[in-house]
Amino acid sequence: MRGLFLGSILFAFSSCLFAGFINEPKAPYAPFKAGFNDGKIVGKYDEKVLFEISCDTNKSVYAFSNTGDILQSYPMTQVRTIVFDDRKPHEIKVDLYFSSEAGVMRSRRASGGEAILGRVGEPLVKGIAGVYDIRRDFLLEWFGADWEWCGKKMTRDESGNLKASFTATVTNGTFNLVFRPNYYRVNLGYKNFQPWIRRPNLKSVNGWRSWRAYGKINMDNIKETCAFIKENFNPYGMDTVEIDNGYQAGEPYMNERFTLAESWMKPSKNFPEGPASIAKTIDSYGLIPGIWISPGITQHYQDKQRLRLANGRMAISGYMYAPGILDMSNYTITNTFIPVFQAFKDAGFKYLKVDGLRHVLYEGLVHAVDAEEATRRIRNFGLAARLTLGDDFYLAACWGIMPELADSIDGSRIAGDCLDDFVSHHRQLYYFAEMFPVNRVLCVNDPDNMLMRVCPDWGKAKVSTVSLGGGTYMYGDKPEDLDREKIYILQRGLPSLETYSVESGPLHINHPTYYPHKYLDESREEDAMYMVGPRTEQGVDSPFSTLWAVHFAKEYDCWCVVTRNALWSLGESVVELEKLGLDNKKTYLAYDFWEKKFLGEIKDSLPMRALKYGSCQVVGLREKLDRPQFVASTRHVSMDAVSVKEIEWKDNNLSLKMDCVEGTVETYSFYVPEGYKFDKAECEGGEAKVIEGGSDRLLEVLVSAKKKDIALDLKFN
């Protein structure tokens, strides 16, 4: 009777799902309108104000409310031109209005030695003539005038909605606004992206995966690793443990005695109490229990649930377990997979990674049914998982960005399996660069687990790129693999940041990430370079994927962190500031994070050192002020967007409020310009000690945190 009762519930549940219960009206395709109102040119989209243009004249200016001057194409692109027909230069001010989740963005990728641009917060990045509204999925860009942002970051109104403003000088009589509605969903092809219905869980995911550490894992391995994380990484922000393939009692199957859910939950030799004991153990350490599953099976007694091709043969993937792939029909999802999702939720897990989905779709479904039906089935699979697990449950897909799952998953693994070799290191970071524009728009990008047991320089590159890029931050080593240096490196990236892309557009496909090779002696540079293939851009000091610039906007400061990754060996380079999204007319203070070295003042360009393949350089850049200012700390590779919460300058006193790791010692560095002399340091909640013998202009203070909340006051004469 219980089985019949559960079945009726699942049938009713799935009936709502597959009947389109969750579908909402699509975002409007209507053109945005522009017309005069109280002396301003006002543009509206979906009956909401999008922009207001204030002109230095109300004469000889034309903006029509009809569609006569709009160029439309598919995907939808609309161009509105503001015309001044008196042939005089005109000054305009443009106010832009967006939803609560928006940020600057350009509609192309980095090239020609430009940095891949990212943002934390809502900085107004120099030279980026566009803003993307995530909640409403549209991109607005502008062309035809010299322009400058008003301020350093976007502002919020009382409702939390965002605003940005810029001024421009129109000299050729026209100013163009280019508008792309449904930008990711239609222009970029992620057709199931519907942010007005659901946004993914964008929390920073920081943790450990078992697969590359143990393979076949046991409870002692889990307890030892949880204790290790609790001591070394949890205070820094690591909170998740994912048990990967190897915990189950053989490969999953179904027959007359077992459902697929019962097979996954079956006790094994290493876990006689079943997977629920894994979740309970991880939870007992105050960590989030995560688990890996795959939709593959080894035995099956119901042929009607197997996916068969037109010739009657079963669809078989080279990756999925024999004897084949399940058909992902409504019946199969409802009666086979929903109970699997529910079983893991009931067992106490709060994080689920579902592997092999690209193989189910691209090696199975698309060969057995038409493309539209294949898309519907895999999408329903994702939606069934989401509705069963609930929004508080973290759901990750594996592997590859799959547009069909855009409205159901929280994270997605974007790289192939990453091993200990340089090819994996290269592929991991290259994939992360390629797929960066979908990060925190469609999902949180997961470049696979970082292996720290390789050389420390490779570890620094992984930590820097993944943390600053806002990816899923998971390592995959045994406790005995990590010495104090490697533990220190991992701590510097915790937690991973909430970073968004400042660029978009078609994916770079100009470099084969699976370049044909055989494994050679990767300690020899010529062999390592042969294995990863040619550079993506020849004759460029920093080819695509090697140079990053992440811009930060906090209440107390705005700054930029530049990363240069040697995915190929890189020579010395001088990078123009405008290629980093910075103003080449301003002076910046530069600090090398991993070298713990103040590089001094820079203007126009940033000199960067030669790098051996696998290594990196991370430099923080803050605009120089005319008074003492904070420069960087050793706590986090962001320099420092994590521990520093407030900065105030008042009455020759520089005050910092910080959220530190209790019992640790970090170095905080400050610039002291001419005309100021350091007097003394006071520290509430800890101790502050000035390091003697440093640079004349750099003040370095050791902060020993006796409590979590620290107040540091530096007094100057």
pLDDT recorded at residue 58: 66
Evaluate if residue 23 carries a pLDDT over 50: no
Model confidence band, residue 383 (pLDDT cutoffs 50, 70, 90) = very high
Output 636 or 194, whichever has higher pLDDT.
Answer: 636
Mean pLDDT over each residue of the chain, to the nearest integer: 89
Q: What is the pLDDT of residue 24?
A: 43
Q: What is the DSSP letter of 542?
A: S
Place of tokens 């590159």: 461
**pLDDT tens column, 600-627:** 999 999 999 999 999 999 999 999 999 9
| Residue 69 binned pLDDT confidence (cut-offs 50, 70, 90) | low
| Contact of 500 with 119, CB cutoff 8 Å | yes
pLDDT digits (tens, 9 = 90+) for 305-329: 777 777 777 777 766 655 578 889 9
Q: What is the mean pLDDT of residues 228-241?
A: 98
Would you say residue 433 has pLDDT above 90? yes
Confidence check: pLDDT of 219 > 80: yes
Q: What is the pLDDT of residues 452-467, one digit of tens each?
A: 998 999 999 999 999 9
**E runs forming strands in 467-533:** 473-475, 500-501
Lowest-confidence segment of 125-139, 243-257, 549-563, 632-646 by average pLDDT: 243-257
Query: 399 preceded by cis ω (within 30°)?
Result: yes
- On whether the CB atoms of residues 328 and 297 are closer than 8 A, the answer is no
Does position 70 have pLDDT exceeding 80, yes or no? no
Give residue 284's pLDDT band: very low, low, confident or very high (50, 70, 90): very high
- What pLDDT does residue 21 have? 40
Instruction: Identify which has the larger pLDDT, 320 or 650.
Output: 650
pTM here is 0.94
Residue 50 has pLDDT above 50, yes or no: yes
> Are 397 and 356 in contact, with CB atoms under 8 Å apart?
no
Contact 489, 464 (CB under 8 A): no
Q: Quick one: pLDDT at residue 41? A: 87
Contacts 24+ apart (CB under 8 A), 693-696: 694/598, 695/598
Q: Which of 126-130, 399-403, 594-598, 661-665 has the lowest mean pLDDT?
A: 399-403
Q: Is the dihedral of CA 329, 335, 338, 340 positive or negative?
A: negative
- Residue 84 — pLDDT band, cuts 50, 70, 90? confident
- Which segment of 15-19, 438-442, 512-516 scores lowest on mean pLDDT? 15-19
Q: DSSP state, 134?
A: T
pLDDT value at 289 more than 70:
yes
pLDDT band at 28 (very low <50, low <70, confident <90, very high): low
Average pLDDT score over residue span 494-510: 92
- Could you tell me what percent of the chain has a pLDDT over 70? 90
Mean of pLDDT values over 331-341: 95
